[in-house]
Amino acid sequence: MSTSPAVQYYHHGRFKVSNGVIPDAVTAFKTYGNPENPCIVFPTCFGGKLARQDYMIGPEKALNPEKYYIVTLALFSNGESSSPSNTPTPYNGPYFPEVSYEDNIRAQHAVLTEHLSVKKVFCVVGFSMGAQQAYYWPVMYPEMVERFVVLCGSARTSPHNQCFIEGPKIALVSSKDFENGHYKTTPQHGIRAFARVYSAWAYGQTWYRNKQYLYDGMYPDLNSFIRGNWEARFLDAWDANDMITLINTWQQGDVSLIRHGGDLEKCLSEITAKGLIMPSKTDLYFPPEDSENEVSWMRNGAELAVIDTVWGHLAGGGANSKDDEFIKSKILHFFKSTA
């Protein structure tokens, strides 16, 4: 069995972000494979740690480290890169500045070019918040990026999506133990409330009918599933201030603000990289209709491939083997057809 590579850390020094500065900014990353091979960039999503990225990486998976040089990069505020939970005073906790997607991509670009000596990116692949980053890369660095794959994401966080995000966010920050971000122990009430609100959006409309949430009998009822699968994952691995900062990044996402003042159609029409856009049929917050519009505006041969699934948003995140195989087949064909 192969061993996952160790996490590495790149120090940017003083790094300006959208609402302030990180005095000694750090981007955490991993590399897989031979740096002489074509480079694939695979950034994390919300709730994503670098170890979780392995779900798509392997000789028999969509991203093959025997053929490609794969670089996974952690978002600011995921707890591995610079975050409220690991930054010293005076920028610790609730004093950590807001960070945009654009800030993250600038940092990732520095890791690739200044540290890893990558000159060309064969493909940027991302799921959810990672998918939104995949849109930013070819807009910010068009001369560098050849292709990009979007799994269950969008170029702009829609008003409907922003409204959803307000739900879990307010459940956390309004809890009695969040203490305006100055908590001294894990805010159990807030994180559990966040997880319960957040769990609802991740699944498609047919989940209950198919009883997929029971994981083939692993959980006896819905409450057990939410506690064991959703509350646990955030309580065990996440800091509350980190979660809020990441949500703010997600909520403000709009790639067209970089150069086109919010004109998304114009922005996407100027993308020169080839795109593979893969929404989930039952995703309630990145619906396929948004992806259809985005693909229609891209003039350089973007392909739309809807994942026909009952797994909602999670279809793009390694939730089940059927969807994984569909995604793998589409990505491998995309890599070959655009070579």
Active site residues: 128, 283, 313
Residue 255 to residue 14: CA distance in whole angstroms: 24
- Radius of gyration, alpha carbons of the chain: 19
Residues 6+ apart with CB under 8 A from 54: 4
Q: Are 24 and 14 in contact (CB under 8 A)?
A: yes
Dihedral sign (CA 310, 312, 317, 319):
negative
Q: Are 46 and 104 in contact (CB under 8 A)?
A: no
Q: What are phi and psi of 10, to 5 degrees?
A: -110, 125
- Judge if the upstream peptide bond of residue 43 is cis by omega within 30 degrees of 0: no
What would the two tokens of residue 34 be?
Answer: 């031979």
Helix, strand and coil in the chain, % to nearest 5: 45, 15, 40
Q: Are 288 and 152 in contact (CB under 8 A)?
A: no
What would the two tokens of residue 41 be?
Answer: 């960039």
Residue 34 to residue 29: CA distance in whole angstroms: 15
| DSSP run (H or E) holding 9 | strand 8-17
Catalogue the E-assigned strands of 220-316: 274-278, 303-304
Q: 216 in the Ramachandran plot: left (φ > 0), alpha (ψ -120 to 50) or beta?
A: left
Beta bridge partners of 145: 121
